[in-house]
A and B are shown apart, each in its own frame.
Chain A
Amino acid sequence: MSLFLIASLPFLGAIFPALLIRAGRNASAASAGMVTLTALIGLLTNAPAVLRGEVVVARIDWMPGLGLNANFFLDGLGLLFAGLILGIGLLIILYARFYLSRKDPMGQFYTYLLLFQGAMVGIVLSDNILLLLIFWELTSLSSFLLIGFWKHLPEGRQGARMALLVTGSGGLAMIGGMLIIGNIVGSYDLTVILQHKELIQASPLYLPALLLILAGCFTKSAQFPFHFWLPHAMAAPTPVSAYLHSATMVKAGLFLMARMWPVLAGTDAWFYIVATTGLVTMVLGAVIALFKDDLKALLAYSTVSQLGLITMLLGFGTKAAATAAVFHIINHATFKCALFMSAGIIDHSAHTRDIKRLGGLIHLMPLTFTIVLVAALSMAGIPPFNGFLSKEMMLEETLSAVWQGSPYLVAALAVFGALFSVAYSFRYIGHVFLGKRRSDYPGEPHDPGPGLWLAPVFLTFLVVVIGLFPNAVVGPLVQVASGAVIGDGQPVVFYAKLWHGFIPALYMSVVAVVGGFVLLLMQRRLAPLWDAAPRPEAKVIFDALVGGFTSLSRRLSEALHDGALSRYAAIFMVFTLALAAYAYGTGAKGAPNREMLDLTIMPVIGWICLTGATVCVVAFHRNRFLALVLIGVVGLIIALAFNYLSAPDLALTQISVEVVTIILLLLALNFMPKNTPQESSTGRKLRDATLSIGAGLGAGGLIYALMGREFSQPSISEFHLENSYSGGGGTNVVNVILVDFRGFDTFGEIIVLGIAAIVIFAITEAVLASNVRGRLLNREPDMAQAGNPHPLMMVVATRVMMPIALMVAAYIFFRGHNAPGGGFIAGLIAAIAVVMQYMASGYEWAADRQRVYYHGIIGSGVLIAALTGMGSWFAGLPFLTSSFGYITIWPLEKFEWATAALFDLGVFLAVLGAVMLALESLARFAWQPGMDSEHPMEINPARDDADNHEKQEA
């Protein structure tokens, strides 16, 4: 199967669980499972080639100008990780089906899971580092959704936010590092980058790039000092923890270190940063894990410790260590996933994860005990399980690591860490399962049904099989994967065996196991000491840091952006004036080369009206109704000016926008004081006057200067005028520009318009769902209300006007391509036709007669526009290429038939829907029960007579 399909299948399939949840939880889970299974099978079809040592590639030039190409490649390392992600993903889907309760939205869960899975597969298959970065950020986002899946729990939300912040900011650092690497090599393709080790390591930018990339890897893989997010992410449902922290999310950092190993590893900087961080993380995680009473916290810190181990191995920079790291990645995924699942099982039936409240579960949950026993012993590194093999390899590698001249420091610390990991592994077995059966479990512990135990049993089966037959089961995979990590083309020899003879690593293992056992016996006595010991609390520091940044940015943004429109305007004006002054001071301007036109009477009248209205706005702005009327005058004069200057399209648009805007402002004014209070000091007035006069004179001067001169460059208008008819099939150049030349812009704009309207709707919903609703419903109007709000004449007239106005809209729409008009203006006119009904007959009356939701109108508009654009693909042309022709249908005259008209229909619908949705949302604030009468025309003699008649009969 193509790599594109493998990488995109989870994304494409993510919609199915969400839809199929309506058919039941089994259908939802099965669809997620099928998607993952299909991708896994697709991956396995490529496996034979990869195991032969080939590299499978799939390439598409996506944005070659940016160096961003959709290139995927599959080598040993990619195969290993993709196999882990998809394989364990399948087990998690099975487990989660039976883990999640009936109250959890399972469709949502599987959708998030598949999105996350897709992002992870994308990371491991990407050949382009920019593409890899996109997937990297997608994992941060989708894991945020997964960790915070239980939105009702504050821990879940906080944990998710912390994970997002830490891994997301690490990802940002990594973008910088990756771009540096790409710049050094001159290519963003991984396969190319991986061949330039000397070039990269010789560059002076090697160290910054290394640090930035490692920042990304360490945050993602929870390495010290960024390890703190991982335990907090345990607030997620257990399947999520099992998936994210055994096989996927935290392994992404390791994957990237392994991926970049050929070019980054081998230097002193690499060794000291990576190996030391790994070592510290390993020891620290193991020590903390031993003293955690929450089962999942114990496992979380053990994960941190194990990740540190793998990081350390990668940091050593030797081939054998890299091989051991790859091997341990597999082993850790198997036993840790099984352990997380078993912790979930215990939590499910015993209703607690607190080790202190557990114990003696062996009598009640023998099957779970078996799973835990095998997996935990493997984690402790006890033969014959797979954890023993890789831990042995690790210990052997530490012996050859020399840290600042001391040959035994690393080995000693590694044994120390291993000792603690033996202790916490034994603690899981001992303190949870062994001992006497208790009578005070919060729940009733019992072994679960097969849905919950199948997945962990399969994993423990792997633990045993890999432990017994490592070379037959995973040997080839480890060989190709480590070959890919090392990347020098030499075949890697991997040969693991349980018995090596009496070598130092064996003694170290024995020391660790015995020491760990002794430590466990002392754990109950050491725990109070540990709890009493002062140590920095990561969450407190993190919260303080985040709080500090939040208040800093709040102070900064509130200084600039405090909600006062006059302040924004002032800042904007000052800045613009400064820029203009700079431009005026440094630029050159030619002499005026256009003749002045004669002054005629029309512009003079217009000018007097315009300036008169403007001056009046300034003078009377405290009376807001009056100001609104004056603004309306300004708008109408501008429309007339457009018309006078031969821009009928603009004039039409201006008039319709003016009407809608004034209605909008009237709606808003309903809730505001009708007069502006006097608040400004004299100094402030002076400042504002200076600024506005400066800006006005500046703008006027600029326009005067501009219109007195010819363009220094040929204008694009010529091109539009020449090609409008031949290319776009229309003689109205304005409309052809909108629907054809700049059709893509228009497409974006109608989407933005739709989004804006829906946001207004959403805000309205949010406000009306809060306690504001009560206050709005009981609001006393601040002015006396007139009776008869829906007068007969107005109601009748608007209803008569409705079809006429719609006809005008249709007329404006259809002629738009060749004469002034078009979808945008027609949309506004149709909206006004409907708004008239709301105003005349009342909100309730109009809402009762609303057949189609405005959301749907917006959506259908955008869809029609998109589909029209896509239509050109079928003709092999780029998106939104328009075509037109002429057809004759008897008895009509010959008429033009252009795809642009269809696109314009989309514009029409989107504008209509957006305007109506926005106005309707605002109108809903004013609605009060009983505000509208049942009959908009309150005085109706016929009805009154009928009522009286009825009364008399009664």
Chain B
Amino acid sequence: MAQIYEILITAFLVISGVFGFVGSYGLIKLDNPMSRLHAPTKATTLGVGGVLIASILYTLMSEGRLSMHELLITLFLLLTAPITANFIAKMHIHRHETPESLPKVGEDQSWATLAPEKHKPEAE
């Protein structure tokens, strides 16, 4: 039984290490900011997630209880990482993009971040 745990823990640690490395490497390697954004988000979600699962398994094995701290950390990560990425993307659009350089918005008015005038509710 312990053998299985150990293999699982090791596997998760290795997976997270790989993702962490790929994420960091991608951050350096990729040339376009929007592409670069992809790399670290993988590292934070999958990479850290792997470590957390490994940690849960480890406590289960060594102390025989289910540790919930890691789930909490996962929750916070899942809440914050997308927002960080969202803000970095918005920042990039705001400073370096124009409506012409971005894909068409379809039936909407324009990209929210680029809206020259603040969107005001119709006062009628």
Q: Given A788-B119, A933-B120, A939–B86 Cβ distance below 8 Å? A: no
User: Which B residues, 63 to 118, have Cβ-Cβ distances below 8 Å to chain A?
Assistant: 75, 79-80, 82-83, 86-87, 90, 94, 111-118
CB of B82 within 8 A of CB of A787, answer no
Contact of B120 among A800, A930, A947 (CB under 8 A): A930
User: Which A residues, 895 to 954, have Cβ-Cβ distances below 8 Å to chain B?
Assistant: 930-931, 933-935, 938-939, 947
Contact string against A for B residues 38-66, beta-carbon threshold 8 Å, 1 for contact and 0 otherwise: 00000000000000000000000000000
Chain A: interface size category: 20 to 34
List the 3 closest A-B pairs by CB distance, nearest first.
A787-B115, A788-B112, A786-B94
CB of A794 within 8 A of CB of B86, answer yes
Contact of B83 among A789, A793, A947 (CB under 8 A): A793
CB of A786 within 8 A of CB of B90, answer yes
CB of A801 within 8 A of CB of B79, answer yes
Q: Given A787-B112, A788-B113, A933–B118 Cβ distance below 8 Å? A: yes
Chain A residues with Cβ under 8 A from B111's Cβ?
A: 787
Q: How many A-B residue pairs have CB under 8 A?
A: 50
CB of A788 within 8 A of CB of B122, answer no
CB of B120 within 8 A of CB of A791, answer no
CB of B83 within 8 A of CB of A794, answer yes
Taken together as a complex, chains A and B put the C-alpha atoms of A935 and B119 apart, in Å, by: 10
Chain A residues with Cβ under 8 A from B112's Cβ?
A: 787-788, 791, 938-939
CB of A797 within 8 A of CB of B119, answer no
Taken together as a complex, chains A and B put the C-alpha atoms of A687 and B117 apart, in Å, by: 49
The smallest beta-carbon distance between B35 and chain A, in angstroms, is 21
Chain A residues with Cβ under 8 A from B116's Cβ?
A: 787
Chain B residues with Cβ under 8 A from A794's Cβ?
A: 83, 86-87
Q: Which B residue's beta carbon lies closest to that of A938?
A: B119
27 contacts between A and B (CB under 8 A): A784-B94, A786-B94, A786-B113, A787-B111, A787-B112, A787-B113, A787-B114, A787-B115, A787-B116, A787-B117, A787-B118, A787-B119, A788-B90, A788-B112, A788-B113, A788-B115, A791-B86, A791-B87, A791-B112, A793-B82, A793-B86, A794-B83, A797-B80, A933-B119, A934-B121, A935-B121, A938-B119
Chain A residues with Cβ under 8 A from B115's Cβ?
A: 787-788
Taken together as a complex, chains A and B put the C-alpha atoms of A789 and B49 apart, in Å, by: 31
CB of B82 within 8 A of CB of A933, answer no
Chain A residues with Cβ under 8 A from B83's Cβ?
A: 793-794, 797
CB of B122 within 8 A of CB of A947, answer yes
Chain B residues with Cβ under 8 A from A933's Cβ?
A: 118-121
Chain B residues with Cβ under 8 A from A787's Cβ?
A: 111-119
Taken together as a complex, chains A and B put the C-alpha atoms of A344 and B114 apart, in Å, by: 72
Taken together as a complex, chains A and B put the C-alpha atoms of A791 and B86 apart, in Å, by: 9
Taken together as a complex, chains A and B put the C-alpha atoms of A794 and B80 apart, in Å, by: 9
CB of A791 within 8 A of CB of B90, answer yes
Q: Which B residue's beta carbon lies closest to that of A939?
A: B112
Contact string against B for A residues 784-820, beta-carbon threshold 8 Å, 1 for contact and 0 otherwise: 1111110101100100110010000000000000000
Interface centre among B94, B111, B122 (most CB of A within 10 A): B94
Chain B residues with Cβ under 8 A from A793's Cβ?
A: 82-83, 86
Taken together as a complex, chains A and B put the C-alpha atoms of A938 and B112 apart, in Å, by: 9
Q: Which B residue's beta carbon lies closest to that of A805?
A: B76
- Given A784-B94, A787-B114, A788-B90, 19 other A-B contacts at CB below 8 A? A786-B90, A787-B115, A787-B117, A788-B112, A788-B119, A789-B118, A791-B86, A793-B82, A793-B86, A797-B79, A797-B80, A800-B79, A804-B75, A930-B118, A933-B118, A933-B119, A933-B121, A934-B121, A939-B112
The smallest beta-carbon distance between A782 and chain B, in angstroms, is 15
User: Which A residues, 402 to 447, have Cβ-Cβ distances below 8 Å to chain B?
Assistant: none
Taken together as a complex, chains A and B put the C-alpha atoms of A935 and B82 apart, in Å, by: 22
The smallest beta-carbon distance between A571 and chain B, in angstroms, is 40
User: Which A residues, 759 to 803, have Cβ-Cβ distances below 8 Å to chain B?
Assistant: 784-789, 791, 793-794, 797, 800-801
Taken together as a complex, chains A and B put the C-alpha atoms of A954 and B113 apart, in Å, by: 31
Chain A residues with Cβ under 8 A from B87's Cβ?
A: 791, 794
Taken together as a complex, chains A and B put the C-alpha atoms of A797 and B114 apart, in Å, by: 22
The smallest beta-carbon distance between B116 and chain A, in angstroms, is 7
Q: Which B residue's beta carbon lies closest to that of A931?
A: B118
Chain B residues with Cβ under 8 A from A797's Cβ?
A: 79-80, 83
Taken together as a complex, chains A and B put the C-alpha atoms of A474 and B116 apart, in Å, by: 88
Chain B residues with Cβ under 8 A from A789's Cβ?
A: 118
Taken together as a complex, chains A and B put the C-alpha atoms of A947 and B83 apart, in Å, by: 28
Chain A residues with Cβ under 8 A from B79's Cβ?
A: 797, 800-801
Chain B residues with Cβ under 8 A from A791's Cβ?
A: 86-87, 90, 112
Q: Which B residue's beta carbon lies closest to that of A943?
A: B121
The smallest beta-carbon distance between A856 and chain B, in angstroms, is 31
Chain A residues with Cβ under 8 A from B120's Cβ?
A: 930, 933
Taken together as a complex, chains A and B put the C-alpha atoms of A934 and B122 apart, in Å, by: 10
The smallest beta-carbon distance between A609 and chain B, in angstroms, is 15
The smallest beta-carbon distance between A673 and chain B, in angstroms, is 18
Chain B residues with Cβ under 8 A from A935's Cβ?
A: 121
Chain A residues with Cβ under 8 A from B121's Cβ?
A: 933-935
The smallest beta-carbon distance between B107 and chain A, in angstroms, is 11
Chain B residues with Cβ under 8 A from A800's Cβ?
A: 79
The smallest beta-carbon distance between B84 and chain A, in angstroms, is 10
Chain A residues with Cβ under 8 A from B94's Cβ?
A: 784, 786
Q: Which B residue's beta carbon lies closest to that of A787?
A: B115
Q: Which B residue's beta carbon lies closest to that of A784?
A: B94
The smallest beta-carbon distance between B14 and chain A, in angstroms, is 20
Taken together as a complex, chains A and B put the C-alpha atoms of A794 and B88 apart, in Å, by: 13
Taken together as a complex, chains A and B put the C-alpha atoms of A86 and B113 apart, in Å, by: 73
Taken together as a complex, chains A and B put the C-alpha atoms of A62 and B93 apart, in Å, by: 70
The smallest beta-carbon distance between B66 and chain A, in angstroms, is 19
Taken together as a complex, chains A and B put the C-alpha atoms of A938 and B115 apart, in Å, by: 12
The smallest beta-carbon distance between A211 and chain B, in angstroms, is 72
Chain B residues with Cβ under 8 A from A804's Cβ?
A: 75
Chain B residues with Cβ under 8 A from A934's Cβ?
A: 121
Taken together as a complex, chains A and B put the C-alpha atoms of A226 and B17 apart, in Å, by: 85
Taken together as a complex, chains A and B put the C-alpha atoms of A801 and B122 apart, in Å, by: 31
Chain A residues with Cβ under 8 A from B117's Cβ?
A: 787
Taken together as a complex, chains A and B put the C-alpha atoms of A935 and B118 apart, in Å, by: 12
Taken together as a complex, chains A and B put the C-alpha atoms of A788 and B115 apart, in Å, by: 7
Taken together as a complex, chains A and B put the C-alpha atoms of A939 and B90 apart, in Å, by: 15
Q: Which A residue's beta carbon lies closest to that of B86?
A: A793
The smallest beta-carbon distance between B50 and chain A, in angstroms, is 21
Taken together as a complex, chains A and B put the C-alpha atoms of A424 and B114 apart, in Å, by: 84
The smallest beta-carbon distance between A794 and chain B, in angstroms, is 5
Taken together as a complex, chains A and B put the C-alpha atoms of A486 and B120 apart, in Å, by: 85
Chain B residues with Cβ under 8 A from A931's Cβ?
A: 118
Chain A residues with Cβ under 8 A from B122's Cβ?
A: 947
The smallest beta-carbon distance between A232 and chain B, in angstroms, is 58
The smallest beta-carbon distance between B54 and chain A, in angstroms, is 20
The smallest beta-carbon distance between B96 and chain A, in angstroms, is 12
Chain A residues with Cβ under 8 A from B114's Cβ?
A: 786-787
Q: Which A residue's beta carbon lies closest to that of B78?
A: A797
Taken together as a complex, chains A and B put the C-alpha atoms of A787 and B117 apart, in Å, by: 7
Taken together as a complex, chains A and B put the C-alpha atoms of A786 and B114 apart, in Å, by: 6
Interface centre among B80, B83, B116 (most CB of A within 10 A): B83
Q: Which B residue's beta carbon lies closest to that of A935?
A: B121
Taken together as a complex, chains A and B put the C-alpha atoms of A492 and B35 apart, in Å, by: 105
Interface centre among A786, A801, A935 (most CB of B within 10 A): A786
The smallest beta-carbon distance between A799 and chain B, in angstroms, is 11
Chain A residues with Cβ under 8 A from B118's Cβ?
A: 785, 787, 789, 930-931, 933
Taken together as a complex, chains A and B put the C-alpha atoms of A935 and B121 apart, in Å, by: 8
Taken together as a complex, chains A and B put the C-alpha atoms of A931 and B79 apart, in Å, by: 27
The smallest beta-carbon distance between B33 and chain A, in angstroms, is 16
The smallest beta-carbon distance between B119 and chain A, in angstroms, is 5
The smallest beta-carbon distance between B110 and chain A, in angstroms, is 8
The smallest beta-carbon distance between B62 and chain A, in angstroms, is 22
Chain B residues with Cβ under 8 A from A786's Cβ?
A: 90, 94, 113-114
Q: Which A residue's beta carbon lies closest to that of B111?
A: A787
